[in-house]
Amino acid sequence: MAGERLLTRNWDTPDAVRLPVYEQRGGYKAARKALGMTPAEVIAEVKKANLRGRGGAGFPAGVKWGFINAAAPTKYLVINADEGEPGTFKDRVLMERDPHQLVEGCIIASYAIGAHHCYIYIRGELPKAAKTLTGAIAEARAHGYLGKSCFGRPFELELTVHRGAGAYICGEETALLESLEGKRGEPRLKPPFPAVVGAFGQPTIVNNVETISAVTHVLERGGDAFTALGLPGDGGTRIFCLSGHVKKPGLYELPVGTPLRTLIYEHGGGIREDRALKAVIPGGSSTPVLLPEHLDAPLSVDGLKAVGSMIGSAAVIVMDETTCVVRAMWRLARFYHHESCGQCTPCREGTGWLERVLWRIETGVGRDGDVDLLKSIAENMMGNTICPLGDAAAMPTLGFLNRFRTEFEQHVLQGKCPFGGRFALPAGWQA
């Protein structure tokens, strides 16, 4: 792998899940260092790092921390470990292979914002990650790194693992907070933002697992050095989740700004059976699809914005020339319909409508005007909902329509799916 590995540096050391091994490999130095600084100094370092949120929205972590009301007596840090955006599989591995890195990041971030209780909201379907993390927390407590006085300093911190129970929408930060409070995961209207009114009515910072794991390295090497690994306004390395029709799918930690082509062709080994590339979803299922002509785009917040998409959760889904994009979009629409919490009419009805019209087109019974209908449904959803799930369904629909309109129209004109109504089977499989 090219370049330096920070977040994944312990992944080849299976014992690194144990505290003594983690520590032997340089762990918990950053937390000790942070606790010797003032909280404001820690926040300044994270600002200098230009660490953009790894959960989807790409908001700078240091800036977010700066919004918290320092005078409030009770504040919370909440870690978003609900990993559910289709295509994304990094947070699970970060927790399973290097739980102490996350625990250390939680200590640093809690100290910076003045939180004495941090909740890790972990997706219910990941019992192994939850167990590994719970074990690491117990070890850290036994060593005095958590509890009444972390590292013997006058800073108290409790860490609690909270398991979700199966609902993608709980990855949205305000739904997550509702769920943490023991309720249905229905998103809240913003403002107020969580930094003002968050968990249990108190100021709260919500950050993704990878964001907080990276904080450890920001403190270890300093904000400027961290930025220098990536781009000026978008620092460091991040973990790309490469999946789909590539020879070597997997997780690749690379500098922010690495071109899409390098990820797919150098690290991923290119397209399976050396077929032609057709389409790439670059940042998880909610982000608009890209074409081979976009392969030189740098993988960064601004780099993908410039080509009409988003970095999102850095989940890169690759589709080769055999792929029916109508079927691909239908599968995503079905997902969003299933996961809509139902609070807003445009999202609840719109996602269902998208799913039905796409299925109609895919199964050869699409009608004249259906392609325009899809466009108008999606456009009416955009911006008209409480949370961004409505947009998350509409944006990829509009993306596929923009880039592959002819393929949708062909389905309707021919009265059938030109790809035989299914995804091509992997080599060697018999139908």
> Helix or strand or coil: residue 162?
strand
Least distance between ligand FMN and beta carbon 322 (Å): 30
Sign of CA dihedral 243, 247, 248, 253: negative
Give the one entry of another protein, ligand SF4, ligand FMN, none that residue 347 binds, where binding means its C-beta sits below a cut-off of 5 to 8 angstroms depending on kind. ligand SF4
> Quick check: 358 binds ligand SF4 (CB under 6 A)?
no
Cis peptide before 192, with omega less than 30 degrees from 0? yes
Give the one entry of another protein, ligand FMN, ligand SF4, none that residue 208 binds, where binding means its C-beta sits below a cut-off of 5 to 8 angstroms depending on kind. ligand FMN
**For the residues of 31-48, what is the DSSP string, one character each?**
HHHHHTS-HHHHHHHHHH
Among 50, 174, 207, 243, binds another protein (CB under 8 A): 243
Q: Which helix (H) or strand (E) holds 294?
A: none
Compute, in degrees rounded to 10, the torsion defined by CA atoms 205, 206, 209, 211: -60
Least distance between ligand FMN and beta carbon 197 (Å): 16
Distance CA 237, CA 230 (A): 6
**Binding span for ligand SF4 by CB under 6 A among 158-166, 192-200, 315-323, 342-350:** 342-350
Q: Which is nearer to ligand SF4, 69 or 345 (CB)?
A: 345
What x/- string results for residues 187 through 216 when contact with ligand SF4 is judged by CB under 6 A? x-----------------------------
Distance CA 90, CA 254 (A): 13
Site for another protein in 203-242 (CB under 8 A): 241-242
Give the one entry of another protein, ligand FMN, ligand SF4, none that residue 386 binds, where binding means its C-beta sits below a cut-off of 5 to 8 angstroms depending on kind. ligand SF4
H helix runs in 114-200, sequence order: 127-142, 173-180
Give the one entry of ligand FMN, another protein, ligand SF4, none that residue 56 binds, where binding means its C-beta sits below a cut-off of 5 to 8 angstroms depending on kind. ligand FMN
Q: Which is nearer to ligand FMN, 316 or 389 (CB)?
A: 389
Question: Sheet harboring 204-208: ordered strands across?
Answer: 158-163, 117-122, 76-81, 204-208
> Quick check: 342 binds ligand SF4 (CB under 6 A)?
yes
Nearest CA to 105 out of 142, 137, 70 is that of: 137
Q: Which is nearer to another protein, 48 or 163 (CB)?
A: 163
Give the one entry of another protein, ligand FMN, ligand SF4, none that residue 343 binds, where binding means its C-beta sits below a cut-off of 5 to 8 angstroms depending on kind. ligand SF4
Distance CA 327, CA 335 (A): 12
Compute, in degrees rounded to 10, the torsion defined by CA atoms 403, 407, 408, 413: 150
Least distance between another protein and beta carbon 183 (Å): 6
Per-residue DSSP letter, 53: -
- Residues found near ligand SF4 in the complex (CB under 6 A): 169, 187, 340-344, 347-348, 385-387, 389-390
